[in-house]
Amino acid sequence: MVALCIVTVVALRRTMPPELRNADRGPTSPSGFRKERRRPVRIMGTETELIAVAPASRNKQIAAALSAAERALRGVEARMSRHLDASELSRFNAARAGEVVKLSEATLDLLRLCRDIAGQTDGAFDATCRPILQVWRKAGKTKRLPADADLAGAIRQSGWDKIELLAGGARKTVDGAGVDLGGIAKGFGVDRAVEAMRKAGAAGGLVNVGGDVRCFGRREKQGQWLVGIRGPFHGRPDFAVVQLTDAAVCTSGNYERFFEIDG
C-alpha cells in the first residue's frame, strides 16, 4: 500500500482538554476576576477556536477581542486561500506569464517571507511548488501515479526564479507557475489574530486554526494554557499535553489527509 500526503498542512489537530472546551461562557466569575470566552468558527477550511481572557467586568472587551481575531483570520483567508476564486492568491495563480497582478501589502509581505525561507532552507520549504502539488492532487483523484514527464514539467515550472515580486504586485515569468501558501498561511493568520486580540484589550487569549496554536497571557483559572496533541491512530488518546505561556505550537501529519494508490 502506498499512502501519500496531499499537502503538508495540519492534520494532527490540537484537542481541547475538557476544562478548556467548557470554558466559562457567562458572567459567573466574581467581580474583578478574569473571565474567558470561547468562540468556535470554521475558517480556512478547518475547525478554529478563539479564546479571549479579560477582567470579568469587561464583557464587551472580550467580545470585541474575539470579533477582532475572527476578522483578522477571515481577512487572511480572503486574500490567501487557494479555495476562493476571488482571493489574491487565486487571481495570481490564474494569471498568464508577464501579467502583473495587484496584491495587498500583507500578501506581498508573506510572499517575501516565503522566498526568504526558501533560501534559508535551501528549498526545503518552497511555496512555488504549486505545479508539483497539482500533479499529485490529480493523481489522488485518478488513483494513478503521475507520469515522469508530468512531474518533470511541474518541476520546471517551480522555483522562485519563475516569480517576480514587484512594488504593489507580482508576475510569473512562465505559464503554469504559481504559489501555494498552505504551509504558512494559517500560521500567518494566527499571528494576525493574536495581534488583533491584544489591540482589542484582551489580557490573554488563544487562537487555534486546525492545529496551528498560539497563546498569550494567562488563562482564567489554570494559568498556563494546556494544548493536547492527538494520537495519530484511531482510538488513541492524546499522547502529549503541552503547557504554554506566550508561545506557539504547530502539529502536522498525514493520518487524516492522504490517498492510496495500488493499495
Task: Say yes or no: 149 and 98 in one domain.
Answer: yes
At 228, is the secondary structure helix, strand, or coil? strand
Residue 243 lies in a domain: yes
Nearest to 81 by CA among 111, 43, 112: 43
Q: Is the dihedral of CA 81, 254, 119, 121 positive or negative?
A: positive
Residue 177 lies in a domain: no
Task: Say yes or no: 62 and 111 in one domain.
Answer: no
pLDDT confidence band for 55 (50 / 70 / 90): confident
Task: Say yes or no: 65 and 96 in one domain.
Answer: no
Mean pLDDT of the chain: 84
Q: Average pLDDT of 101-106?
A: 97
CA-based Rg of the chain, rounded to a whole angstrom? 21
Span 173-202, pLDDT tens digits:
999 999 999 999 999 999 999 999 999 999
pLDDT confidence band for 263 (50 / 70 / 90): low
Task: Say yes or no: 39 and 107 in one domain.
Answer: no
Question: How far apart (Å, rounded) are the C-alpha atoms in residues 68 and 196?
Answer: 6
Sheet of strand 169-172, all strands in order from the earlier edge strand to the far edge: 101-102, 169-172, 163-166
CB contact at 8 A, 10 and 210: yes
Question: How far apart (Å, rounded) are the C-alpha atoms in residues 127 and 175?
Answer: 16
Question: How far apart (Å, rounded) are the C-alpha atoms in residues 163 and 133?
Answer: 17
Model pLDDT, residue 131:
98
Span 166-175, pLDDT tens digits:
999 999 999 9
Residue 181 lies in a domain: no
Q: Average pLDDT of 229-240?
A: 73
Quote the number of domains for the chain.
2
Domain around 104: 88-172
Question: How far apart (Å, rounded) are the C-alpha atoms in residues 27 and 62?
Answer: 11
Model pLDDT, residue 234:
67
CB contact at 8 A, 139 and 258: no
pLDDT confidence band for 7 (50 / 70 / 90): very low
